[in-house]
Structure 1
Amino acid sequence: MSEIENLSFEDAMRELEATVGKLETGEATLEESIALYERGARLRAHCEKRLREAEERVEKITLSASGQPTGTEPVEGQ
């Protein structure tokens, strides 16, 4: 498992934002910029994966006629 795969969504987003910030300054050399871009792409993919996983876990709470929770059911599309 790579270092990026071990990051939480929040940590990966923070690092991605920092990486984008470094690229936007234009102060990195060409080689550094390429490495930053590649890492940013991996971080973005990791964040998307974490979001998909979270969406798959979301459940809809079902209510009885009286409004009391009766259980959960998978979100549509699962």
Structure 2
Amino acid sequence: MTDTPAKPVADLSFEEALRELESIVQKLERGDVPLQESISQYERGEALRNHCDTLLKAAEAKVEKIRRGNDGQAAGTEPLDVE
């Protein structure tokens, strides 16, 4: 592990957070990380997962679907039905 302090999770873009989360998962799956570091990595991974989830939900809320008029042409947009 590097000595550079980790960037705060809240400051990461979705792509940065996902990349770091994937790296943590790979390290933990290998099983060659000391126990205390594994716990720290797991906690950071959980924070990254939550951050990614929050960013995805925010993006979904902004997505709009295109409505079509009777003539088949685009007639505006409406919020995407997210369940």
TM-score class, shorter-chain normalisation, is 0.7 to 0.9
Q: Does 1:66 align with 2:71?
A: yes
| CA deviation vs aligned residue, 1:5-64 (integer Å, no higher than 9, x gap) | 121112111110000111111111111001100000000000111111111111111111
- The aligned residue for residue 20 of structure 2 is 15
Letter in 1 for 2:65: K
- Counterpart in the other structure of 1:43: 48
- Among the aligned pairs, what percent are the same residue? 51
Q: Structure 1 length normalisation: TM-score?
A: 0.87
How many residues end up aligned between the 2 structures? 77
Q: For the aligned residues, what is the CA RMSD?
A: 1.7
The unaligned stretches of length 5 or more in structure 1 are none
Bigger drift between 30-39 and 67-76 goes to: 67-76
2:8 is the counterpart of 1:3: yes
* Residue ranges of structure 2 left out of the alignment (5+ in a row): 1-6
1:39 to 1:62, Cα distance in 2 relative to 1, 3 A:
same
How many Å separate the matches in 2 of 1:19 and 1:76?
33
